[in-house]
Every structure is written in C-alpha cells, then in structure tokens.
A and B are shown apart, each in its own frame.
Chain A
Amino acid sequence: MIAYTLKRFGLAVLVAITVSFVTFMLLRFSGDPAVALAGADATPEDIEVVRVTYGLDRPLLIQYIDWGRRALKGDFGISPYFNQPVEKIIGNRLTITMTLGACALSFAVLLAIPMGVLAAIRPNTWIDRLALTVSVIGQAMPSFFFGLILIIVFGVMLRWLPISGSSTWKHFILPAVALGYYATPAIMRLTRSGMLEVLGADYIRTARAKGLRAGKVLFKHALRNAIIPVVSLLAVQFGFMLGGSLVIETIFAINGVGFLGYESISRADLPMVQAIVLLVSMFYVVLTFFSDLLNAFLDPRLRVQ
C-alpha cells in the first residue's frame, strides 16, 4: 500500500507539473499578454514598457520556471485589474465556490443514489424507466439553459428563491440544483449497475435465506458494497463541478472562483486566469489521487497493477 501510495503521489506531482506547463504555454501562445495587459488604446511604446515591467521579454521557459517557483510559494503575481495579489482575491472567492460545489454534490447524491437503488430493485419497471429518462434528459440539456429555466420558474414566476448573488444560503439553492443535476446521470447509472451486480451475488442470497429483513439486506449488505465505486466517482465529479461552476456562477452572479475566472478572461487578466486554471486542475489532481488511494484501500487487487 505504501509503495502504491508513493507511486500514485509521484504520478500526481508529475501530472500537476505537466498541466501547469501546458496551460501556461497555451495561454502564452494564444495571444500576446503584453498587448492584452496594456489595453486597447496603448501605443507600441506602452506595450514595450508593459513587456519589460512584467518580465514578458524573457524566454518563455525562464518565465514559466519563475512563475512556477513563485506559485509553489503561493505567490501568483499581481492582478493588473485589481492591483492586488492574485492569491488574495482568489482566496476570498474560493469559500463560495467550495460551498456551491458541496451543495451541488449533496443534491446530486440525494437524488441519484436513491433513484439508482430503486431502479436496481425494480429493474424494467416505471421507476427504472423514470430514472433512465431523467438521466438521458439531464445529459442533453445544456447547464446554462437549465439554469435559466430555474431562474424563470422559481425566481420570477413563483418568486420562491433569489436568483442572483451569494449573500444568503437561499442564494445557493438554485445554482446547486443546476450544477448538481449534471452529476446525477453518472452517479445514478453507477449505483444502479453496482446494485444490480451485488444483488445477484451469493452472499445476498445467503443473507436472504438466513431470513434477514429485506431492508437490512438491501442497505447493510448490498448498498455498502455497491457504493464503493460510487464514492470514487464522487471525487471525480466534484473536480468536474469546480470546472463547470464557471457557467453556473456566471448565470447566477455568484462571486466565486468560476465567475472570477469568466470576468478575468473577459478583461484579459492573465495572471488571474493562469492561477485559476492551475487551481482547478490541482483540485482535480488531488481529488483523483485520493480517490485512487481509496479504491486501492478498499480493493487490494488494484494495488499490484
């Protein structure tokens, strides 16, 4: 297990370095950051000044190493828009995005796991079909469209919930639903197939033959085993959500990292964009690292591969 952990950790670090390098280069090659930073009506001399001030005249590799070294210490540079350290601005917004992500994931779990279990105990009935329909439609509807529908129905027509901002807990309900809904199909399908497999296993038949109550068999024996792969899927889905929250945060004007990312892209705030892309990627790397470890811990067969 220790060897496996170390190997996974090394891989995670390597992925982290590669991702940061690729995104750094990608953003540099997409446009001239000096032009973007100097603004629309800058003269060529202004652009040159900006280039030297920000060290953009040095070779790209040197710039990357310099940026990476400072990023390791938690220094992501100064945002030209806020005129403040990038990490300070992001730090303030991170709590909001995390709250949103946690709410969205809870919503997805509360919807998907019961539905997956129900679909598995009653396969090919209307419950199963309903679960399937919900997941198929969920995958087809774009998140921003679903978000706008929620705004129209619950915010404007029924006037139940606020539709913009992030000041109270009520502000998080609609965005959490809009964001969490997209994780439901995957979680539900995995719960359903896991339960179907486990329910056909011998030890379940034994448990039933012993005369255990159906509820006890279902939850204590079956669900516990079926849920293992779902847990690691949740970690991955949480990583995806942090990336996908950009769209939802923008629609609901939630002051999180995603909305900040969108605004920073619009105003060509390159240090900010770079830091946010790196941050979201790192979350994903860390989450998959822990989900791999969890899987290996629960299923020893994985450790030898």
Chain B
Amino acid sequence: MIVENTAELPEIIFPSPREILFQRTLRHKGFIIGAAILALILAVALLAPVLAPHDPYHQDLAHQMQNPVWHADGTWRHPLGTDNLGRDYLSRLMFGARISLLIGISAMLISGLIGTTLGVAAGYFGGRTDMIISFLITTRLSMPVVLVALAVVALIGGSLTVIIWVLGFLIWDRFAVVMRSSTQQLRGIEYVSAAKAIGCSTPHILIIEIIPNILNNLIVVATLEVAHAILLEAALSFLGMGVQPPLPSWGLMIAEGKEFMLFTPWVIAIPGVVLSLLVLAINLMGDGIRDITAPEGHS
C-alpha cells in the first residue's frame, strides 16, 4: 500500500544531542548529588556576609567553647557552638567556604593554564617539543608536592596570594598529562588534517579544531584539580604554614581545634566533615561529567 498522505505517518522525534546530554545528566545520580552539595556550599560562600549570624572574627571570651545546639547546653544563639576564643563556629565555617573555594578555583585556573598549554603543545607538535615537555612533567611528578609547597610557603610567608601561586605552579601535571594524550589522539584525525591541508594557521587549528574537542576532558581534570587544591590548602593550613590566623580556613580550624578534640570532638568533626563533603561533591561532579560526556569509555 502506498501512503498518500505522509502526514498520517507517526512522527519520529529524534532528541537533539543537547537533549540527550541533558537526559543523561539527570539520570546520573552521582553528578546530581555532587552538584546539589556544591551549589549549596557555593551559595553559602557567596552569601556568607548575609547568612552568617555573627562576625567570624569577633572574640567573646565570656562564651568560649560553647557546645553546639544538639548538646543539652547548646543554644540557638551559636548553632554550632563557639571556638576557644569565643568566636561563632557557624560564621567561621561559612566564611571558611569562601577561602577554600577561592584558593581551589584560583589555583586550578593557574595550573590549568600552564598544564593545558604544555599538554596541547606536546601533543600537537610531538617530536622534540613533546620530549622536552614530557621531561618537564616527569620532573614535576618527582617533586613531593606537600613538602615543596610547605617549604616554599614557609619561607615566603603564608598568605592567600602566595598559597594560590605556589599551588598553581605545582599541580599542573595532571592537566598536562591528560591534555597531551587527548591532543595526540586528535592530531591524526581527518578534520585536523583537512584544516592543515587548506592552509589554516597553527593557532587557528589549535583554537578552532583541537581545543573544543578536548574541552570535555579539560573540564573533568579542572573539576578534580579544584578538589586537589582545596585538600592541599587544608593540609598546609592544618600544619600551620598555609592560611594564617585569624582567617577562618577549614584546615586551620581543625588545627586550632586539635588540642580540644579529646574533650569536644565536634571542634574538628564539623570543619572536617564539611571539608570532606565539599571535596566529595566536586569529585562526584568530575566523575559524573566524565561518565556523561564519554559514556562508552568509562571503566
């Protein structure tokens, strides 16, 4: 039978690639959970001056080490209690989120710029360039990050800017490794050869043909490196050679609470749990993006 009126045929709607991506995102539980936690922490960090019930630097020596609200003697005036100087713990926690995120994102941007430049150059040009850059990556990997960061920050003096730059200059290795191998895979692909054949300039090929196609991998590494930088900052601050008091860094809060932890474990548990949650959320998102953008290749 010949169908005369094609309008009678059931219409098949193909979802656009963007819709498929969106559907996959919604179905990925890890990504959704990570994104929700991160959005919450991000909102608190941005709105800290509005949300915080007290000034995070205000010392109230009459109300030191008050217990959080879930203890019998806790009050809603200080929902998470106060520290050994009588500062409101919740307010310090909220302002601490700003420091973690600021350092994490800034250090990631610096290391991302260094690592991506090196990785793309090594992967695209190959040969001697690749040899030299691979050598740089190996050298960097051989240097113990915590030890070197600690020594340099201690010698220069801990401040937010110093920590950001030191971490930024130390953790570009994963960017370089991943971008190098992603670019290598693209180098021989038809559309890159075609662009070369019609005489496109090297910067044109790199920016128009290569970068957009390694963007997914770049985003995954960038996400994981934010978490890496946040953990390193916390470790430096915990060891007393990162963010300096009275700034409310979570690592520093754990260090300050350490001597009281045997009697009141919550002083380290609260910043520790929040720090772990933040890193967990970022990692979940990074893994999620990898699964969503490359569903066939995950192991």
**Residue A246 at the chain B interface, CB threshold 8 Å:** yes
Q: Are B155 and A27 touching (Cβ within 8 A)?
A: yes
**Residue B215 at the chain A interface, CB threshold 8 Å:** no
Partner of B276, one of A142, A242, A265: A142
Partner of A277, one of B147, B231, B240, B280: B147
Q: How many residues of A contact B (CB 8 A)?
A: 50
CB-defined contacts of A196 to chain B, threshold 8 Å: 299
Known A-B contacts A31-B155, A281-B142; A262 and B275 likewise in contact (beta carbons under 8 Å): no
Q: How many residues of B contact A (CB 8 A)?
A: 42
Partner of A14, one of B135, B268, B287: B135
CB-defined contacts of B135 to chain A, threshold 8 Å: 11, 14-15, 18
Q: How far does the alpha carbon of A59 sit from the alpha carbon of B138 in the complex, in Å?
A: 28
Partner of A247, one of B139, B235, B258, B262: B235
Q: How far does the alpha carbon of A163 sit from the alpha carbon of B188 in the complex, in Å?
A: 56
Q: How far does the alpha carbon of A274 sit from the alpha carbon of B95 in the complex, in Å?
A: 36
CB-defined contacts of A27 to chain B, threshold 8 Å: 151-152, 155
CB-defined contacts of B154 to chain A, threshold 8 Å: 265-266, 268
Known A-B contacts A148-B254, A281-B143; A247 and B155 likewise in contact (beta carbons under 8 Å): no
Q: Are B284 and A136 touching (Cβ within 8 A)?
A: yes
Q: How far does the alpha carbon of A132 sit from the alpha carbon of B94 in the complex, in Å?
A: 30
Q: Are B234 and A142 touching (Cβ within 8 A)?
A: yes
CB-defined contacts of B79 to chain A, threshold 8 Å: none
Q: How far does the alpha carbon of A141 sit from the alpha carbon of B283 in the complex, in Å?
A: 11
**Residue B148 at the chain A interface, CB threshold 8 Å:** yes
CB-defined contacts of B139 to chain A, threshold 8 Å: 15, 18-19, 22
Q: Are A152 and B156 touching (Cβ within 8 A)?
A: no
Q: How far does the alpha carbon of A30 sit from the alpha carbon of B152 in the complex, in Å?
A: 6
**Residue B279 at the chain A interface, CB threshold 8 Å:** yes
Which chain B residues in 199-252 approach chain A with CB under 8 Å? 227, 231, 234-235, 238-241, 251
**Nearest chain-B residue to A285 (Cβ)?**
B142
- Give the Cβ gap from A230 to chain B, nearest Cβ, in Å: 14
> Could you tell me which A residues sit within 8 Å of B by CB distance?
11, 14-16, 18-19, 22-23, 26-27, 30-31, 36, 136-137, 139-145, 148-149, 151-152, 156, 189, 192-193, 196, 242-244, 246-247, 250, 261-262, 265-266, 268, 273, 276-277, 280-281, 284-285, 288
> Could you tell me which B residues sit within 8 Å of A by CB distance?
135, 138-139, 141-148, 150-152, 154-156, 227, 231, 234-235, 238-241, 251, 254, 258, 261-262, 265, 268, 272, 275-277, 279-280, 283-284, 287, 299
